Amino acid sequence: MGSMGFFLPIFIAFCVGVAVALGFIDKILKPKGSYEKWLEEELKTNPDYINWLKVANRGKDYRLGLRILRKIKRR
């Protein structure tokens, strides 16, 4: 195998690793929107609000609500 045959897979794996790492960093540093802040406060005061989120908007915000509740319970 030539030098390119050995180097190319390692280079591709490195690029994929960097892309995944940048994605995680971007997700962590993403600022909260106003709706997410409001939802966090609502779930702190009324944790049963998650049941309504399951029905409203066909459950669009249900996963966001579950993630926020997990963060609240961890604190």
User: pLDDT tens-digit profile of 11-62?
Assistant: 999 999 999 999 999 988 888 788 888 888 988 898 888 888 888 877 888 8
Same domain flag for 60 and 74: yes
Same domain flag for 36 and 26: no
DSSP string, 3-31: HHHHHHHHHHHHHHHHHHHHHHHHHHHPP
Report in angstroms the alpha-carbon separations of 67 from 27, 28, 46: 13, 13, 15
Same domain flag for 61 and 48: yes
**Contact partners, residue 49, CB within 8 Å, separation at least 6:** 42, 43, 65
User: What is the pTM for the complete model shown?
Assistant: 0.56
Same domain flag for 75 and 40: yes
Same domain flag for 73 and 41: yes
State how many domains the chain has.
2
Residue span of the structural domain in which 72 resides = 32-75
